[in-house]
Amino acid sequence: MSMTTKNKPKHPVLKVTDLSARYGKVTAVSNANIMVARGSIVTVIGANGAGKSTLLNAIMGSLPLSGNSTGAVEYLGVDVGGWQVERRVSSGVSLVPERRELFGSMTVEDNLLLGGFRLYRAGKHGWKETIDEVYELFPRLKERRNQQAGTLSGGERQMLAVGRALMAQPQLLMLDEPSLGLAPLIVREIFHIIGRLRSTGVAILLVEQNARAALQVADYGYVLETGEVVLEGKARELADNPRVIESYLGLGQKKKEAAEMV
């Protein structure tokens, strides 16, 4: 299922071309091609160990293109392959990592303000007002703004991690497994908020093992298996693809279990 010219974003915020990433002699991602347009949600789904997090780290610059990675990463039309992580962040690329990496002994509000520190240091006018927008998206964070981050529930910590990333006013927001370890009701709430972010114009690259939730919120999707993109297409088309249904939506497994019970 290849992307047609008609469906290609005209002005992608992110364009990844033939990106490969290795750990020693082991290739974790092989010749990946991905595009994310402004105001769109693009998801990369795949099983645990498929190379999804490695893909994000390579895009973020945590795996330098010299040595561990090859290929091209373009952000807003500029090749950022030689950029350090700090430069990518300051230019508007934010990553919410799988482990969330909050400062547990700091309050919710201090964690958020820290997310906007680069803009403050750069003297960008109005950066602090972004916190009101984050509180509008996440009312629960406003209620707990004076509470230590380490005392929050799993869902609240995920909200704080996303909110902190938004404080940097990113043009590209990358989310690594935002549903990990969360109860189904909280997952639904998190993905509802991710869907609302589309209206802000930010480009979102969502890496998820929960294929069902990811394809419901995304516009376009890629399926990653053993480091290779094996399928891509509009999210609703992938959700109806027999291979995706069988491997990632659980329906095939349910049929198999039912047959074994007969």
**Are the CB atoms for 148 and 104 separated by under 8 Å?**
yes
Let me know whether 83 and 184 are in one domain. Answer: yes
- Reading the block at residue 193, the tokens are 């908020």
If one counts the domains in the chain, the total is 2
Please give the residue range of the domain that contains residue 252. Answer: 9-92+170-261
Let me know whether 130 and 194 are in one domain. Answer: no
Question: Is there a domain that residue 1 lies in?
Answer: no
Supply the pLDDT for residue 254. Answer: 41
Q: Which of 34-38, 60-64, 93-97, 219-223 has the lowest mean pLDDT?
A: 60-64
Supply the pLDDT for residue 121. Answer: 67
Whole-prediction pTM value?
0.85
Let me know whether 162 and 175 are in one domain. Answer: no
**Are the CB atoms for 193 and 159 separated by under 8 Å?**
yes
Domain boundary pick from 143, 169, 195: 169
Supply the pLDDT for residue 7. Answer: 47
**At 5, is the pLDDT very low, low, confident or very high (cuts 50, 70, 90)?**
very low
Q: Cα angle vertex 105, ends 103, 110, to 5°?
A: 65
Type of residue found at 255 = K
Cα separation values, 113 from 81, 148, 154, 174, 200, Å = 29, 14, 20, 19, 20
Domain boundary pick from 142, 169, 196: 169
pLDDT digits (tens, 9 = 90+) for 160-205: 999 999 998 899 999 999 998 889 998 999 999 999 998 888 999 9
- Reading the block at residue 116, the tokens are 């906007």
pLDDT digits (tens, 9 = 90+) for 15-28: 999 999 988 788 89
Q: Cα angle vertex 16, ends 250, 168, to 5°?
A: 90
Distance separating alpha carbons of residues 21 and 55, to the nearest angstrom? 7
Distance separating alpha carbons of residues 156 and 168, to the nearest angstrom? 19
Question: Is there a domain that residue 199 lies in?
Answer: yes
Question: Is there a domain that residue 4 lies in?
Answer: no
Let me know whether 151 and 34 are in one domain. Answer: no
Distance separating alpha carbons of residues 126 and 30, to the nearest angstrom? 42
Q: How many CB atoms lie within 10 A of CB 149?
A: 24
Domain boundary pick from 153, 169, 185: 169
**Which residue bears the tokens 């290779």?**
228
Let me know whether 205 and 79 are in one domain. Answer: yes
Let me know whether 88 and 174 are in one domain. Answer: yes
Let me know whether 203 and 177 are in one domain. Answer: yes
pLDDT mean across residues, the chain:
86
pLDDT digits (tens, 9 = 90+) for 64-121: 554 577 899 999 999 998 899 989 988 999 999 887 778 888 999 999 988 887 776 6
Q: Which of 125-129, 192-196, 231-235 has the lowest mean pLDDT?
A: 125-129
Q: Please give the helix or strand (H or E) that residue 113 lies within, else none.
A: helix 108-115
Supply the pLDDT for residue 251. Answer: 54
Residue 188 belongs to a domain with what CATH number? Answer: 3.40.50.300
Question: Is there a domain that residue 98 lies in?
Answer: no
Question: Is there a domain that residue 36 lies in?
Answer: yes
